[in-house]
Structure 1
Amino acid sequence: MDLGDVDGEVDVSLDYTGLQRSEQVMTESDTVRDRIAFLRGLRSVRDFRPDPVPREIVDDLLEVARWSGSANNSQPWELVVILDRETLRSLAAVEGYAKHLAGAPLGIVLVMAGEPERVGHETYDEGRLSERIMLAAAVHGVGSCIGWFAGDGRQAAKTLLGIPASRLVRTVLSLGYPDDEARRARPKREQPRKPLAEIVHQERYRDTE
């Protein structure tokens, strides 16, 4: 991989020499580029239409979640699927950053095992699980946004959902079909990304300042 800086850009082309034939089939085909564009295009959705998410789609999301990777295959999670609008509004009101739940037709609360000696592992796995569910939702045209229970909000969420005190509850996903009109009405904000030349280092860290 050549990361030479040319006019502020980085060449991130990969050298496939040495890969087995079966590993080379996914290179520069249109299908691959479409998938890369899909992954790049995932954005949080906070405005939802009231239409329910069909059960078969919810089942797909849960199946993808079930197959998400975890440290030592510990699978340290359980999922609470919430369709009740009153419960969603109550969760949106607790301390944290999940107000978008109030307008969502579907919420999924991630319940982690909460083992004190594995908090670091569970934090890592929790992020992987969240992203997997959000990507699976996007495949079906379902928008999503990650939320976070903070402070007393974590215990409040446990109480609302009957979750045992020993479990760790902090992440929640709101899901639903995007309300495009509401999104267009929001003030537009640029979302630039840093160039690769600024964030990628080859072999050793280099001073970019």
Structure 2
Amino acid sequence: MAETETAQSRTDFLRSLRAVREFKKTPVPDDALRDILEVGRWSGSAGNQQGAEIVVIKDPKTLNTIAGLEGFVHHLAGAALGLLIVMPGQWAEGDAFDEGRLAERIMLAAAAHGLGSSIGWLTGSGREAGRQLLNVPEGRTVRTVISIGYPATAARRGVRKPLDSIVHAAKYS
């Protein structure tokens, strides 16, 4: 019984993650940030290459500048901090896979600390502008950026399609 309750509480937590795009002005405590980064460090990677690096952005001016770049990153304006994921840039598919794993892990760790977050990505000229703004070496992939902070409002429960409409038994039907 205890195992079931533990499993249920864990999966309930996973289902509770919501994108937060509006934040209070309260800074994220350093110990919470360090723990989030540690969780990210332990995220899996293809071949255990551990190629991802993270740029921590706390300066409001820099966050606002990034929020204005091409892409889906407007939620960085007003966030307590942003985490830019930097990938090696040598294997596009592998980088994208590892980058997604890392981003989700970071967001779950933030939620465990009572923080909200939202994933965003730089597109087109925003990727190069972001790379230059944050002094990321040429050749590295700059795409995913996560805003983190204390939610300004309670997250609304999301609506999802019924499970039967997205799961197919044995083959696609």
TM-score (norm 2): 0.95
By how many angstroms is 1:77 displaced? 0.8
Aligned to 2:50: 75
Q: Partners of 1:43 and 1:166 in 2: how far apart?
A: 33
Would you say 1:93 and 2:73 are equivalent positions? no
Structure 2, gaps ≥5 residues long: none
Larger radius of gyration: 1
Question: What is the CA deviation profile of residues 49-74 of structure 1, one whole-angstrom value per residue up to 9, with x for unaligned ones?
Answer: 01000000000011011100010001
SS at 2:77 equivalent: helix
Aligned to 1:149: 122
Aligned to 1:107: 82
Which amino acid in structure 2 is aligned with residue 167 of structure 1?
R
Would you say 1:197 and 2:170 are equivalent positions? no
Which amino acid in structure 2 is aligned with residue 78 of structure 1?
E
TM-score (norm 1): 0.79
Correspondences of 1:56-67 after superposition (within 5 Å):
56-67=31-42
Identity %: 51
Structure 1, gaps ≥5 residues long: 1-24
Question: What is the CA deviation profile of residues 13-44 of structure 1, one whole-angstrom value per residue up to 9, with x for unaligned ones?
Answer: xxxxxxxxxxxx9852x222111111011000
Kindly report the root-mean-square deviation, in angstroms, between the aligned alpha carbons of the 2 structures.
1.7
Q: Partners of 1:151 and 1:26 in 2: how far apart?
A: 50
Q: Partners of 1:200 and 1:154 in 2: how far apart?
A: 35
Q: Partners of 1:70 and 1:34 in 2: how far apart?
A: 27
Would you say 1:164 and 2:131 are equivalent positions? no
Contact 2:18–2:158 under 8 Å retained in 1: no
By how many angstroms is 1:198 displaced? 1.2
Contact 2:131–2:142 under 8 Å retained in 1: yes
Q: Partners of 1:73 and 1:26 in 2: how far apart?
A: 34
